[in-house]
Each structure stands twice: as structure tokens, then as C-alpha cells.
Homo-oligomer: A and B are copies of this chain.
């Protein structure tokens, strides 16, 4: 059994991690910490887990995190970087679901996250946890930076095109729509039901932290810099990201075959037959990315549709997938839940 700890865990990423780990046959959940909820049984905070999770939240100071094999950080940005070093020294491996270890460039990180990085030397070591790109490195990583939700959906959608270098890499466009849970379980006015339901809007057009993350990920694959316009939108649904990707064709190939071949062996990426339009619910509550490729009217603009559940393949599910890889067990262990439809 893998001994698992969770730091933070009162938000949506936390409850989703708990849902998945409680059903994972190879995991022993040792501790889950929350300064604010210390002492509260997890099942009181999340009644959906009554009967399934017996733990109470514990104070970070008291939690036996150092005895774990792996600790997940489901914390706000800026927490994991302060606590990682001590855990690593105790031999604990780390998956950070926040952004602390996602960038290669310290200066860029500090610019986008508006704080000093507490462990720049660990940035160099951390592995970006997109298994479809970095599976080998994840296997032996001490720190895995779990990708952001938009970056997972957008990178998987563009990946075959970028690897094959068949589109204009200076002018990629990602029009992305996210369910409201992507904004977290924070008491903020704009994500109230009465604000966000029966409504639709873009946000952050002038700049979003996932923009440099996507560009970095695709640039690593392309071995050159990437031009990207990224527009996120808030969508009145709970879970799900739908990315509609546009790329100008520079070399015509069989795009359907390209995608089918690139992802054929991937357990959690499903390329749909030609003409299909994946909907977000077809992956709801499951660790899956479904992708369809279109070339409307045979023109030179390619349209790729990519969907994930932001809390699963875009967060907790991918974190468990990374854990499975890190510990050498079947990558799909505990991730066999089927999408919930309707």
C-alpha cells in the first residue's frame, strides 16, 4: 500500500482526490491537513464522503506527512514550495496540484504569480506531470508539478500538430470554456449561482497564468517558441473544459491518422472518429480526454475539439495517474470510473 498524505483538501481538488483515493485499491490514506478545519471529520465537511472517509482534518503541524510515501498538495499557489524541501529530505515524494513547480523559468513564475519563489532549485528538478509527454521522467521524479486544467486540455489537443510541425506555430488560437468549479471553492461574488448561471463570458483576455504554461509545454515539444492566443470563458456548468483550437495548416497530412496514431496507446486519451463533436459530459467524473479533429470546408484552418473534466484529468485524476506512474503500478489503477451520464 502506498501511504498517502494530502495537504489542504477542503476545496474541490481535495474532495475529488479523496473520492478517487478512497476507491483506489493500493492506497492507504494517512492524513489530510487543514489549519482551518483541524479536528473536523472530513465527512462532516464533505457529507458525500460519509461512511467512506474516516479521517479528520489534522493540523499541518501534527500530521504524519513525513511518514508518507507521497504527499499531494491541494493548496493555493505558494504553499507547496515552502514545504517541499523538508518532505523530500525525509524521502517523501510530492505531487503539487497547484502551480508552484510548473514553470522552468523562475523569473517568469515570479512575474505571473506575483511572489518570490521559495525553492527555485526545486523548479529545475520538478517534472511537469503530463504523462502523455513526460511519462519516463515522471516515473523517477521526486516532485511532479501537476498541470493546470486548461493547459492539460489545450496541450493534449495541440500536441500531435506541434510534434509533427504541420501548422503555423506562431499563431495558435485556444478558445477555452471552463465549468465554474475551475475557479475553486472560494467565496467570491462572480462565481455565485445567481451570477454565473444562465450567463456566459470571457475573462482574462489580456493575460492568464495558463497562457505561459501552455506555451512552455508546447515549446518543449516543438523545440522552439510558440505564438498563442488564449481566451478562457466561464461556462454555466460545474465540471468540464471544452477547448476549441484553431491552427493554420502549413503542411497537409492525414490529421485524423496523425491523432489516432499519436494517442492510440494512451489509456486516457480517446480520439473520436471523423465528424464527431465531443461533449464535456462524455468525460464527466472520469480521467479522460476526448479529442476530435475537423478541417471545415477543406480550408487551411484546422479545428480541434478537446474535452476533459477539469477536476479529474485536469487535476485530481491526473495526480493519481502520476502517482501510479511514480510507484510503478498500473497507470489506470483506481481510475476506472466511467463518466456519469446524464
Residues of chain A having any CB pair with chain B under 8 Å: 12, 15, 19, 22-23, 46-52, 171, 173, 175, 177, 179-181, 183, 185-189, 191-203, 205-207, 227, 229-231, 233, 235-240, 242, 244, 246, 248, 270, 272, 275-286, 290, 294, 296-297, 299-301, 303, 305, 307, 311, 336-342
Contact = CB atoms under 8 A, between A and B. Distances in A.
Nearest to A192: B191
Residue in A49, A171, A238, A339 with the greatest tally of chain B CB atoms within 10 Å: A238
A338 B197 contact: no
Contacts of A231: 244, 296, 303
Residue in A12, A200, A230 with the greatest tally of chain B CB atoms within 10 Å: A200
Given A205-B294, A236-B235, A297-B207, A15 B341 contact: yes
Contacts of A189: 185-187
A180 B194 CA distance: 6
B237 A233 contact: no
16 contacts: A12-B342, A19-B340, A23-B336, A23-B337, A23-B338, A47-B282, A48-B283, A48-B339, A175-B175, A194-B238, A198-B237, A203-B277, A205-B303, A206-B294, A229-B296, A337-B337
Nearest to A339: B48
A200 B47 contact: no
Contacts of A237: 197-200, 236
A338 B286 CA distance: 13
Contact of A202 (B230, B242, B270): B242
Residue in A337, A338, A339 with the greatest tally of chain B CB atoms within 10 Å: A338
Contact of A229 (B183, B195, B199, B301): B301
B242 A338 contact: no
A297 B294 CA distance: 28
A280 B194 contact: no
A196 B280 CA distance: 10
Contacts of A336: 23
A338 B49 contact: yes
A239 B341 CA distance: 10
Given A180-B192, A199-B240, 18 more contacts: A12-B342, A19-B339, A47-B272, A47-B279, A47-B282, A48-B341, A49-B339, A179-B194, A181-B194, A185-B195, A191-B192, A195-B342, A197-B237, A199-B279, A199-B280, A200-B242, A207-B296, A231-B296
